[in-house]
Structure 1
Amino acid sequence: MRVMVVGAYGFIGAHIVAALTAAGHEVTCAVRGARIDSRFPGLKAIACDMARDTRVSDWLPRLEHIDAVVNCAGILREDGANTFRAVHEDAPLALFRACEQRGIRRAIQISALGDPADGEFIASKHRGDAALSKLALDWLILRPSLVYSAYGSYGGTSLLRALASLPWVLPLPGKGEQPLQPVSANDVGAAVAAALATPACARQVIEVVGPQVMPLRDYLLAWRHWFGFATPRIWNVSPVWVRIAAAIGERIGRGPLGQTISRMLDRGSVGSVGALAQMRDSLGLAPQPLAQVLRASPSHVQDRWHARLYFLLPLLRVSVALLWLGSGIVGWWLPETDVVPAASGHAIAPHLALWLARTTATADLLLGALCLLRWHWRWVLSLMLAMLLGYTVGIGTLWPAHWLDPFGGLLKNLPLIVALTMLIATDERR
C-alpha cells in the first residue's frame, strides 16, 4: 500500500514510518522542506507546512498515487504561525477533505489521550478528531497515552527522563502518585500497521495504551534504574512550587514544561476501562509492559548524556547570553580614559580603539539578547563564535602579553569556544 505519513520525522511519526516500512508499505514522508532524513534512505519526501497548508488545493497534488494517509503532525506549543488551530484542526481537515476528493478512503489520525480541559493542545486535537469523524472516509483515530521509547525521546518524555537522571535526588510533584499507562512508541507504530492491514477497523476511536497502570514515581524510577544510576533520595515537591514552575515555563520557556503538561500529569494519563480489550479485538495488538521494553534494550552512555544534558544545555546557553550581555554593558560603561590608554604603544590608533570597544560592546549586547530570546539561535551562536575567535586572534596578536594574564583573561576564551561549539552541535536537542 502507498501511504503518505504527515509529520513523518517526528518522534511518533518516525516510529510509524519504520513500522510501515517493515510491513512492506511504500511510504511517502510529508515533512517541512521535503528534506531527506538519513534515517530513512530511499523513501520519498514531499514538502508540507501544517501552519499554512489549510486549503484542500494545497494537498490535492500531493495525494496522487496515494492509497492511505496517516497524520502524525502536532505541536506542544504555539509559535508564530504554528498555532493549535492551524496544525491540529485546519490543515488536517484540508488534508482529509482532499482525501475525499481523491477517493482515498483510509485516513488515520494520531491524536492524544487526555481531557480537553487540560489545555488547547488536547482540546484542539479532539476538535480535529471531531471534524474528521464527520467525513465520508474509513477514518480511524488513535489516541496514545504517554509514549516512550528506549531509542530516544521527545517533549514531555525527554523532560521525564531528565528528571529521572538528576544526580542524588528524584523530585516528584506531590508524592508522585499521578497514574500513568505508558505505551511504547513501537506499539504505536504497530497499531498503525495493524490498522492498515485491517480494513474493517474503521470509524472508531481507539485509545493506545500500555498494559500496566503505574504511578509517576515508579515510572521515573524504572528509567533511573535503566540508566544505571544509583537509587535516589526522593524529594516531594509541593504542588504550589510545581504550579509556579509550570507558569514560568509557560511564559518564558519553549520546551514541554508548561501548564498543559502540569495539568495532564495531575489528572494522569490512563485509558478507559475497555481500552486494552479494544486494542486486542480491533487491532490484534498486545502492547508490551515498560519493564519488558527496557530489559530488551539496555541503555548506553549516549542515553545518559542526553538525559543529563537536558537541563545543563539550557543553563549553558543562558550563562553564555548573560556573559555577552555583561561584556556589552562593561564595554559601554568603561570610560574613554580607560579605553584609550590600553591601546597606547600598540599598532592601533586611540580613536580606533574607542570605536572598536563601543562597536563590539553593541554587538555583544545584541547577540546576548538574541541568544537569551532564542531568536534564530544557531546563527546567533555562530556569530558569537566568530566574534570570540576574532577577539582571541586579534588581541592575542596585538597584545600577546594577555596570554600571560594571571587571571587567564585570554586563555578563558578557549573553553568558551568549545562551549559555543557544543551548543551549536546540540541544536537539534528535543
Structure 2
Amino acid sequence: MRALAVVPFDLPQKLAQRPFAVTDARDLGRTVAFLLDEWTAGRRAWRAGWDVMQEKTQNVEDVLAGLTTRLAGPKRRIRAPGWALTAASVAGDIISGLGWRPPVRSTALAEMARGVTGDPSRWREMTGITPVSSSNTAGLVAATVQERWFARLYLLKALIFGILVLFWVMSGCIALTVAFDAARRILTDHGFGDALATAVTVATSLMDITIGILIAIRRTCRIGLLAGIGLSLFYMMSAAIMTPGMWVEPLGALVKTGPAIVLMMVGLAVADDR
C-alpha cells in the first residue's frame, strides 16, 4: 500500500472498491497489554474472539488516498488494468519459488479481493479501547525522505533484479548462438588460435549465464552480483588492452557496461528483505 501511494497507478476498480479496515499497531499493543493484565489477575481459562480493527470500514482506494497524501504521492493517477495485476501475481508466485518475497502474489490479491471486514464492538466493550482511525494511523506514518525512497524502490526492486537476470542470461545465450562466430572472430583477429578462441567464447558465455542464474536465486543473489561486477570489470580491462576500438563503436557495447555495474551495485544495496 505504501509503495502504491508513491507511484502514478491505481488498482483496478474492482479491487479499489473492496472493503478495507485498518488496524493500528498501538491498538494491538494495548490489546496484548489488556490480556497480560487479565492473565496476571488469574483469569487463565478465559477465552474471547475479537476483531481488532478500526470502527468504520473504508475501501482500499480511500486508505490508499490517505497514504498518498501523507507521502506526497502523485496527484494524477492511471488505473492499472486487471490483467496486469494477474500477470504480476503469476510472476510473483513463480519468483517466490526461488526464495524471494515479491510484492505481488496471488494470495495477496485473493485476500484483497475478499476484503477486510469485521465487528470490533465486542473487543471495544471488553477492553475499553477506542481504536485509532485509518486517517490518524496514516497521519502517523513516517513521511521522511527515507520512507519515500523505500516506497519507491519497493516495486522497482523486482524490476532491477529481473532486468539483471535477463541481461546476463541473454548475453550468454546470444554469444553461444547467433553471435558465436562474431565473438570468436574478435579473439582470432587478435592472435588467439581457433581452439582457444572457441574455448574462451564458450567459457565466458557460460559464466554469463551462471551469473544470471545466481542472481535469480535469493540465497545466491549477492554472490551473483559480486561476480557480475567482477566479470564486467574484467571484460572492460581486457577490451581496453586487446580491442580498444570497441570503446568508440557506434552502439557503445563497452560504454554500456558501466551503467550495468552501477545497477548491480544498486541491487546489492537493496538486496536485503529484513
TM norm structure 2: 0.82
User: How big is each residue's C-alpha offset from its partner over 1:177-200, in whole Å with a ceiling of 9 and x where there is no partner?
Assistant: 211111122332333233223324
**Which residue of 2 is the match for residue 163 of structure 1?**
4
Distance in 2 between residues matched to 1:336 and 1:174, nearest whole Å:
50
2:110 to 258, 263, 276: 263
Shift of 1:372: 3.7
Query: What amino acid is aligned across from residue 59 of structure 2 in structure 1?
Result: P
Residue by residue, what CA displacement relative to the aligned partner does 1:146-171 show, whole Å, maximum 9, x if unpaired? Answer: xxxxxxxxxxxxxx22222222x323
More helix by share: 2
* Deviation (angstroms), 1:271: 1.9
Shift in Å at residue 277 of structure 1?
Answer: 4.0
Q: How does 1:144-159 map to 2 (within 5 A)?
A: none
Q: Distance in 2 between matches of 1:323 and 1:243?
A: 25
Q: Give the letter for the 2:26 counterpart.
A: N
Q: What are the within-5 Å matches in structure 2 for residues 135-284 of structure 1?
A: 160-167=1-8, 169-174=9-14, 176-199=16-39, 200=43, 202-233=46-77, 235=79, 237-238=81-82, 242-243=85-86, 245-253=88-96, 254-272=101-119, 275-279=120-124, 281-282=126-127, 284=128
Question: Residue in 2 aligned with 1:295?
Answer: 139
Change (3 A) 1:388 1:187: farther
**Which structure is higher in RCO with an 8 Å CA cutoff and minimum separation 6?**
2
Three-state SS of the structure 2 residue aligned to 1:206 is coil
Please state how far the C-alpha of 1:360 moved relative to its aligned partner. Answer: 0.9
- Does the Cα contact within 8 Å between 2:7 and 2:74 map onto a contact in 1? no
AA partner of residue 260 (structure 1): T
- Matched to 1:195, the amino acid is L
Q: 2:270 corresponds to which residue? A: 426
Q: Distance in 1 between matches of 2:113 and 2:92?
A: 16
How many angstroms apart in 2 are the aligned matches of 1:267 and 1:338?
Answer: 55
Query: Which residue is 1:362 aligned to?
Result: 206
Moved more, 366-375 or 205-214: 366-375
How far 1:243 sits from its partner (Å)? 5.0
Indicate yes or no: 2:245 matched with 1:398: no
**What amino acid sits opposite 1:226 in the alignment?**
R
- TM-superposed CA distance for 1:213, in Å, is 1.2
Compared CA separation, residues 342 and 255, structure 1 to 2 (3 A): closer
Separation in 1 of the partners of 2:256 and 2:57?
A: 51
CA distance in 2, matches of 1:344, 1:247: 45
Q: Distance in 2 between matches of 1:296 and 1:310?
A: 20
Q: Bigger CA drift: 188-197 or 245-254?
A: 245-254
Structure 2: 5+ residue stretches without partners: none
Displacement of 1:303: 1.8
User: Distance between the aligned counterparts of 2:148 and 2:19, measured in 1?
Assistant: 25
Residue equivalent to 2:170: 326
Distance 2:24 2:241 in 1: 57
Indicate the SS of the match to 2:263. helix
**Would the aligned equivalents of 2:12 and 2:80 in 1 still touch at CA under 8 Å?**
yes
Classify 1:350/1:237 alpha carbon distance in 2 versus 1 (closer, same or farther; 3 Å). Answer: closer
Is there any run of 5+ residues in structure 1 with no aligned partner, and where? Answer: 1-159
3-state DSSP class of the match of 1:191? helix
Of residues 126, 130, 133, the one that matches 1:286 is 130
CA distance in 2: counterparts of 1:338 and 1:301, whole angstroms: 48
More deviation, 175-184/370-379: 370-379
Q: Report the CA distance shift for 1:276/1:415 in structure 2 as closer, same or farther (over 3 A).
A: farther
Pair 1:180–1:412, CA change in 2 (3 A):
same
**Contact 1:174-1:237 within 8 A present in 2 as well:** no
Partners of 1:280 and 1:307 in 2: CA distance: 37
How large is the RMSD of aligned CA atoms in angstroms?
A: 2.9
Instruction: Assess if the C-alpha contact under 8 Å between 2:247 and 2:254 holds in 1.
Output: yes
Alignment of 1:111-150 (within 5 A): none
Instruction: Quote how far apart the aligned CAs of 1:259 are.
Output: 3.0
Deviations 1:25-54 (CA, angstroms, capped at 9, x unpaired): xxxxxxxxxxxxxxxxxxxxxxxxxxxxxx
CA distance in 2, matches of 1:356, 1:244: 39
The CA distance in 1 between the partners of 2:179 and 2:95, in whole Å, is 35
Q: Which has the higher strand share?
A: 1
Match in the other structure for 1:338: 182
User: CA separation in 1, counterparts of 2:15 and 2:117?
Assistant: 18
Could you say which residue in structure 2 is the equivalent of 1:389? 233
Distance 1:406 1:237 in 2: 39
Cα 1:263–1:226 shift into 2, 3 Å = same
When residues 357 and 186 of structure 1 are mapped into structure 2, their CA distance, relative to the original with a 3 A threshold, is farther
Q: 1:194 to 1:389 in 2, by over 3 A?
A: farther
CA contact (8 A) 1:381 1:420 kept: yes
